[in-house]
């Protein structure tokens, strides 16, 4: 589809006619030489001498060429454009940080799997988190991945490239970040990750056994800072309530962190429960997806300019090759 970006420019089309109609023709004076045999000269040439101005006539080629060139120049000024097919862009409705515990305690094999066999905590979490990320691969969410043990590290900043997030998640293993659990540091790093976000809806999904053993910042203090920065924490407890020592599940701490930010804490007893938790998070914090639509435009203003130049060159060449076409009659 062809359209004009500045259709008002077409109002200039009748301008040459208005100038011809209302403005006087240009007058020039030329010097002449008086000779005593002027009358004999006019008789010999078969012309009639008369006083006053002489208006040179224009050939039909000149008139048509001039009209076409002017019309093409005005059309170029109106900026013709080719409209492409509508393109829809889905803008992220919320930002989500996945903070996954990969400390030594996540190596414990006490997480009920779908076949009623216990499996490693991190393996179960990684499988279900991968499904969670895949269901959001529609441009509606931006996600970041943080892993933490004795230290917290950003594996992927906020991005809509969820395939990369999945690839990095698949490469995580227990102990990569140290054997201990720095829960407060993970929340603090998540807050810093959200500093690059301009979206109001900010969710931190924290997957851990909640047993903080190595934080430089208290998890409670970190949660209060998160609340002040508009970050909601949804904490998911992973592990067995019967475990003890560094492998124990501290649901009380996870619940305290979540409630301070307006979020909620959940206990994931098995992989089915973990999937239900993600569905529950979606119902508690539905995302706002903004869809933008636009049509790409291709500027075609150069085409009438090229045609005008070609017509002018052809007309000039014709006038030079055919002197009869530019005769002037007094």
Q: What is the pLDDT of residues 177-191, one digit of tens each?
A: 888 889 999 999 999
Q: Give the pLDDT confidence score for residue 160 in this predicted structure.
A: 83
SS3 146: strand
Task: State how far Cα 48 lies from the chain centre.
Answer: 76
Alpha-carbon span 257 to 143, nearest angstrom: 21
Parallel, antiparallel or unpaired: strands 231-238 and 202-208: parallel
Torsion of CA 6, 9, 11, 16, to 10 degrees: -160
From the CB of residue 323, how many other CB atoms can be counted at a distance below 10 Å? Answer: 8
204 close to 226: Cβ distance less than 8 angstroms:
yes
Q: Give the pLDDT confidence score for residue 225 in this predicted structure.
A: 94
Length of the chain: 330
User: Domain map of the chain by residue range?
Assistant: 1-18+54-85+298-330, 89-291
Q: Give the pLDDT confidence score for residue 329 in this predicted structure.
A: 41
- What is the edge-to-edge ordering of all strands in the sheet holding 265-268? 152-159, 141-148, 94-101, 202-208, 231-238, 265-268
Cβ burial of 325 (10 Å; 0-12, 13-18, 19+) is middle
CATH topology of domain 89-291: Rossmann fold (3.40.50)
144 close to 158: Cβ distance less than 8 angstroms:
yes
Q: Which helix (H) or strand (E) holds 305?
A: helix 302-321
Q: Give the pLDDT confidence score for residue 109 in this predicted structure.
A: 83
Alpha-carbon span 61 to 4, nearest angstrom: 29
Q: What is the pLDDT of residues 106-132, one digit of tens each?
A: 888 877 766 777 888 888 888 778 877
Query: Which residues pair with residue 4 across a beta bridge?
Result: 80
Across the chain, mean pLDDT equals 81
Q: What is the block-wise mean pLDDT of the chain (330 residues), using blocks of 10 residues?
A: 88 89 76 73 74 66 89 92 76 80 85 75 82 70 89 91 88 88 92 86 86 84 92 85 71 90 82 70 63 78 93 86 53
Provide the b/e sequence for 205-226 (b: ≥16 CB within 10 Å).
bbbbbbbbebbebebeebbebb
Q: Give the pLDDT confidence score for residue 192 in this predicted structure.
A: 93
Phi, psi of 234 (to 5 degrees): -115, 105
Q: Give the pLDDT confidence score for residue 328 in this predicted structure.
A: 44
Q: Give the pLDDT confidence score for residue 289 in this predicted structure.
A: 57
């Amino acid at each position: 589809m062809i359209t004009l970006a500045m259709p008002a420019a077409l109002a200039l089309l009748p301008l040459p006619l208005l100038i011809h109609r209302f403005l006087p023709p240009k007058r020039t004076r030329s010097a002449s030489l008086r000779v005593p045999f002027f009358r004999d000269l006019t008789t010999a040439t078969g012309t009639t001498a008369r006083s006053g101005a002489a208006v040179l006539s224009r050939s039909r080629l000149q008139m048509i060429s001039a009209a076409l060139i002017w019309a093409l120049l005005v059309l170029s000024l109106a900026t013709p454009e080719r409209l492409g097919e509508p393109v829809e862009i889905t803008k992220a409705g919320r930002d989500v940080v996945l903070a996954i515990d990969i400390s030594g305690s996540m190596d414990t094999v006490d997480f009920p799997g779908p076949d009623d066999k216990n499996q490693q905590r991190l393996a179960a979490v990684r499988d279900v988190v991968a499904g969670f990320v895949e269901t959001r691969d529609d441009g509606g969410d931006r996600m970041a991945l943080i892993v933490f043990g004795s230290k917290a590290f950003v594996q992927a900043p906020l991005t809509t490239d969820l395939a990369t997030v999945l690839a990095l998640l698949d490469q995580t293993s227990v102990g990569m970040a140290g054997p201990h659990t720095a829960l407060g540091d993970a929340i603090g790093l998540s807050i810093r990750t959200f500093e690059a976000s301009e979206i109001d809806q900010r969710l931190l999904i924290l997957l851990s056994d909640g047993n903080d053993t190595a934080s430089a910042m208290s998890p409670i203090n970190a949660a209060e800072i998160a609340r002040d920065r508009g970050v909601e924490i949804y904490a998911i407890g992973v592990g067995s309530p019967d475990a003890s020592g560094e492998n124990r599940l501290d649901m009380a701490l996870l619940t305290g962190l979540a409630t301070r930010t307006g979020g909620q804490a959940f206990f994931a007893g098995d992989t089915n429960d973990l999937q239900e938790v993600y569905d529950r998070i979606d119902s508690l914090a539905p995302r706002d997806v903004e869809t933008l639509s636009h049509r790409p435009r291709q500027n075609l203003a150069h085409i009438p300019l090229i045609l005008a130049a070609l017509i002018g060159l052809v007309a000039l060449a014709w006038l030079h090759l055919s002197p009869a076409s530019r005769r002037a009659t007094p």
